[in-house]
Amino acid sequence: MSEPTVIATRPTPGQPRPYDFPQFERATLGNGLRVITAQMPGRPLVTASLILRNGAADDAPAVAGAISLAARALSEGTQRYDAVALVEATERLGAGLHADAGWDAATVSVEVPVARLEPALELLAELAAHPTFPVREVDRLREERLNDLLQARAEPRRRVDEAFIGTIYQPSSPYHQPSGGLAGTVATLDVERLSAAWQRGFDPARMTLILAGDLAGAGGRGAVAIAESLLGGWTASPGAAAIGGPVASGSVIDAVTIRLFDRPGSVQTEIRVGHVGVPRRIDGYAALSVMGAILGGLFNSRLNMKLREEKGYTYGASAGFDPRRGAGPFSARVAVNTEVTVPALVDLLAELDRIRQEPVTPAELAGARDFLVGVFPLRFETPGPVVGALGGIVVHDLPDDELATYRGRIEAVTAGDVQDTAEARIHPDRAAIVMVGDAARITAELETAAIGPVEVVRDEESTETAS
Amino acid sequence: MVNPSVPFTDERLPNGLRLVIAEDHLAPVVAVNIWYAVGSKNEVPGKTGFAHLFEHVMFQGSRNVKKAEHIALVQAAGGTINGTTWLDRTNYFETLPSNQLELALWLEADRMGTLLDALSQDNLDNQRAVVKNEKRSSYDNRPYGSWSEKLQAHLYPEGHPYHHPTIGSMEDLDAASLEDVSAFFRTYYAPNNAVLAVVGDVDPAQVRAWTQHYFGGIPANPSIPPVGDMTLQPTLGAEVRETVTDQVPLPRIYFGFRAPVMGDRRLDALEVAMQILAGGKGSRLDRRLVRDDQIAQDVVAFVLGFVGGGSIASGWATVKPGVSLERVEAAYLEELDRLTREPVTDDELARAKALIETEELGALSRVEERADRLAMNATLFDDPALIDTMLARYLAVTPEAIRAVAADVFRADNRLVLTYLPANGSTEEAAG
């Protein structure tokens, strides 16, 4: 076999083809409901999302999970359809119709070939405006959610995430629990509570319908006219409430705190390190994005390079902020083989210090900025992500030119900005370190390392108090 | 409804590299997807997991690319990137802004030609440790995590190339040596064993010129060994049962069956059958076990398609607290059995097809998926044009075709039943 010859010189990029985020237009229906349309030629599969600014952060802590379960229950029955008839009608259109609730909004979405947009929107409107929450199906969904929470306890990844937020947030914060609630709150969710949770956000003045795709194919009437006929007659529910105010997101951690949840026999330790982070609407969000990419977002981020590519401790390490209306968590995340738990934790903490103490290198800065700027057109190839990004503007009250100016703001971030934001936003000295792993094999070494006081939480204790 | 059509060109370099180009200027992006005709089926006993470990080594640098630099360069170009290993193939792909295509071709050519220049014991040991942690994360430290390995082990006999899992065993991963890596590379990572698909905002003449420029100097390997004996009896011959205790809160029953190979029209019908059985809330299993009888927490049914000997039809039901396993198993199997006796209704079939249509339309709207499918069809079936026939084949499925394949596959003597029980012996009671 002859020797291979390859070209040693790395090619330089050509001229990028200009790209702009799809133009979008705003309209307001007679009842105040807003409509955003983004025309994307050549994309016959349309995505439409109705956004209600009513999320899990608006659930009272005692009924945490109400809006999440309510969204799920929408498709279990409406005035015109029972659950089976509704799903069959949806499937006949070849449409995917889904409702769910995040922290800041509930969303009813449909993806459908544009030729069948109108009947699909009719189903979406029926779901949003006329759910009946049948008691049998609500009981079943509640039971399924409770079973799912049982399953989550056995899944190290889900268990550590749940334990982490339960450790850092004050109990009165909605962020103290998963957005779907915990067993104690889910058990209280009945038809009245789900209905109330849904109705509190049902006010056309606080709702937005977003459509993207080749909407020109929707037929004679345009998308806005279709929306007017289907949604324009809605009025606010008597149960609509003034929600959307500040979210309690205080921390209960003021010094390094270690909690190890014992899972005997675990071959890996799931580790979360972090604290209460920042809301989505802050100054310097671009610098935060660049810093997050360098610390734990990119493949060649500091955490992944150290813990995976240098040490081989893990399949992958990452870190980042979870920006919400209130201050969502900052966390570094990694699963490592049990034997290296303590050295991995030490390395991870050292990286949290280092990003604050030294400026990032020019190569790191350029790599992160160029990724975030360059990947922008890739993110918006199809209508779904375009609708998602426009939804972010709606939910967080961002300016309409947020996406148009995004790349410029990223390009302007300096090494000084990155270090400043790391110093201001990352606090290793008051981080919670929450782990799920085999305590018998970790605890002694962890205590010797003297990172902070170690609390070991064993299952028997929680089982005993629960039964 | 639009029947998607993907215009493409199909050619070979003198060294055997197959190049498939599909031009589409809708978005300023390009997808590069390179399939090597080597997967875990090419591994020999004592060296399981090797194809996948090797995939990791492919990101450790080559003559002109430093360790971890491949991914760093693609990301800094605004691209996304990954690689996957499966039974029938290993593939590497990146999607980039279209002005960065040449970089991706250079990177792929450098490692296809000169990977061994950068290979070191340190890099191999590092990625061995990473892969062992991948195995722990994805299989060993997960509830029910051993199911797929058991599925393969039971449905394919000892010695069959599909008998072992792609992730391999810890012992075999430990045993992998630098010599193994070198031999594997020289054997399988040759241009005549690869298909390069380039899809998106490109000038085909330019793509051809660059491909020749960067890959043209890499020699073919004239002696790629054939895969082992893939022949397989169409059915298991007798029911196989295994019970596993695990750290799981709820019992779960997995089912497995031998099924026709990819490319066999009967597998198309079986995929439509799986949609009717468990494709969402309108499906038979969901309606019966989850909604009406309320005995299952969730139900799943799917096909894993392979080209050699036989595919897998599988699924599971998670048993609700307090419900007997026998009842759930019986209900699940009754629904499979009903498919073998009665034709599905016209409405059920029409709904399944409408959903498949939308799904195909969505998948083909992304350049990354188009590149993957073109390379797949070229690699597995020597015919990239099959990309345009996939939807038509699903739409051509009849009620009788579904009944017939169900009768062939869902037989008691072709059935694996794998039951996971909570390790504490009793099912925990959910509140409420």
User: What is the sign of the dihedral through the CA atoms of B282, B286, B292 and B297?
Assistant: negative
Q: What pLDDT shows up at residue A242?
A: 84
B167 vs A contacts (CB less than 8 Å): none
Report whether pLDDT(B1) > 60.
no
Residue A147 contacts B where some CB pair is shorter than 8 Å: yes
A294 vs B contacts (CB less than 8 Å): none
B42: closest CA among B228, B294, B191? B228
B292 vs A contacts (CB less than 8 Å): none
| Closest Cα in chain B, distance from residue A134 (Å) | 13
Residue A298 contacts B where some CB pair is shorter than 8 Å: yes
* Percentage of chain A exceeding pLDDT 90: 95
**Cβ–Cβ < 8 Å for A100, A56:** no
Report whether pLDDT(A348) > 90.
yes
Mean pLDDT of chain A, nearest integer: 95
ipTM above 0.85, yes or no: yes
A420: closest CA among A251, A324, A290, A327? A290
The pLDDT confidence band at residue B283, using thresholds 50, 70 and 90, is very high
- A113 burial level (CB within 10 Å; 0-12, 13-18, 19+): buried
Nearest CA in chain A to B217: A5
* Percentage of chain B exceeding pLDDT 90: 96
The pLDDT confidence band at residue B431, using thresholds 50, 70 and 90, is very low
Residue B365 contacts A where some CB pair is shorter than 8 Å: yes
Nearest CA in chain A to B131: A315
Mean pLDDT of chain B, nearest integer: 95
Residue A185 contacts B where some CB pair is shorter than 8 Å: no
| Kind of pairing between the strands at B29-36 and B80-85 | unpaired
Q: What pLDDT shows up at residue B428?
A: 46
Report whether pLDDT(A466) > 60.
no
Residue B27 contacts A where some CB pair is shorter than 8 Å: yes
pLDDT in tens, A129-148: 999 999 999 999 999 999 99
Report whether pLDDT(A1) > 60.
no
A96: closest CA among A116, A80, A66, A79? A116
Report whether pLDDT(B430) > 50.
no
Residue B133 contacts A where some CB pair is shorter than 8 Å: yes
Of A1-10, B231-240, B415-424, the one with minimum mean pLDDT is: A1-10
Residue B44 contacts A where some CB pair is shorter than 8 Å: no
B362 vs A contacts (CB less than 8 Å): 45, 111, 382
Residue A267 contacts B where some CB pair is shorter than 8 Å: yes
Sorted by sequence, the CB contacts under 8 Å of residue B153 that are 6+ apart come out as B163, B164
* Percentage of chain B exceeding pLDDT 70: 97
Residue B322 contacts A where some CB pair is shorter than 8 Å: no
User: What is the sign of the dihedral through the CA atoms of B110, B115, B120 and B123?
Assistant: positive
Which pair of structure tokens corresponds to residue A377?
A: 């057109």
pLDDT in tens, B295-319: 999 999 999 999 999 999 999 999 9
Which pair of structure tokens corresponds to residue B233?
A: 């009896």
| Residue of B136, B275, B424 best to disrupt the A interface, most CBs of A under 10 A | B136
A361 CB-side CA count, 13 A: 5
DSSP state of A171: T
| Kind of pairing between the strands at B240-246 and A106-113 | unpaired
**Cβ–Cβ < 8 Å for B371, B199:** yes
> How many A×B Cβ pairs under 8 Å?
261
pLDDT in tens, A22-64: 999 999 999 999 999 999 999 999 999 999 999 999 999 999 9
A11 vs B contacts (CB less than 8 Å): 102-103, 105-106
Average of pLDDT values for A174-200? 97
Report whether pLDDT(A303) > 90.
yes
- The Cα-based distances of B284 to A82, B404, B429 in angstroms read 16, 18, 27
Q: What pLDDT shows up at residue A220?
A: 65
| Closest Cα in chain A, distance from residue B21 (Å) | 19
B-proximal residues of A, 389-448, CB under 8 Å: none
Residue A69 contacts B where some CB pair is shorter than 8 Å: no
Report the Cα A278 to chain-centroid distance in Å.
Answer: 14
Q: Please report the DSSP string for B124-169 in residue order.
A: HHHHHHHHHHHHIIIIITSTTTTHHHHHHHHHS-TTSTTSS-TT--
Tell me which residue in A43, A267, A381 faces B141 most closely, judged by beta carbons. A267
The pLDDT confidence band at residue B429, using thresholds 50, 70 and 90, is very low
**Cβ–Cβ < 8 Å for A160, A435:** yes
The pLDDT confidence band at residue B3, using thresholds 50, 70 and 90, is low
In terms of phi and psi (left: phi > 0; alpha: psi -120 to 50; beta: otherwise), the region of B46 is left
Q: What pLDDT shows up at residue A459?
A: 80
**Cβ–Cβ < 8 Å for B51, B39:** yes
Tell me which residue in A88, A144, A370 faces B297 most closely, judged by beta carbons. A144
The answer to whether the Cβ–Cβ distance between A309 and B280 falls below 8 Å is: no
pLDDT in tens, A212-269: 999 987 766 799 999 999 999 999 999 999 888 899 999 999 999 999 999 999 999 9
pLDDT in tens, B20-40: 999 999 999 999 999 999 999
Report whether pLDDT(B120) > 80.
yes
CA B358 – CA B363 distance, rounded (Å): 9
Report whether pLDDT(B341) > 70.
yes
In terms of phi and psi (left: phi > 0; alpha: psi -120 to 50; beta: otherwise), the region of B16 is left
Average of pLDDT values for A98-102? 97
**Cβ–Cβ < 8 Å for A197, A70:** yes
DSSP state of A320: E
The strands making up B9-12's β-sheet, listed across from edge to edge, are: B9-12, B18-23, B194-200, B29-36, B90-97, B80-85
Percent helix, strand and coil across chain B, each to the nearest 5: 45, 20, 35
Question: What pTM value is reported for the model?
Answer: 0.95
The pLDDT confidence band at residue B4, using thresholds 50, 70 and 90, is low
Q: Which residue has the tokens 């050699």?
A: B308
Report whether pLDDT(B426) > 90.
no
SS3 at position B22: strand
B64 vs A contacts (CB less than 8 Å): 6, 8, 10
The answer to whether the Cβ–Cβ distance between B129 and A313 falls below 8 Å is: yes
Tell me which residue in B129, B247, B365 faces A312 most closely, judged by beta carbons. B129
B142 vs A contacts (CB less than 8 Å): 155-156
Q: What pLDDT shows up at residue B10?
A: 98
| Residue of A135, A315, A382, A436 best to disrupt the B interface, most CBs of B under 10 A | A315
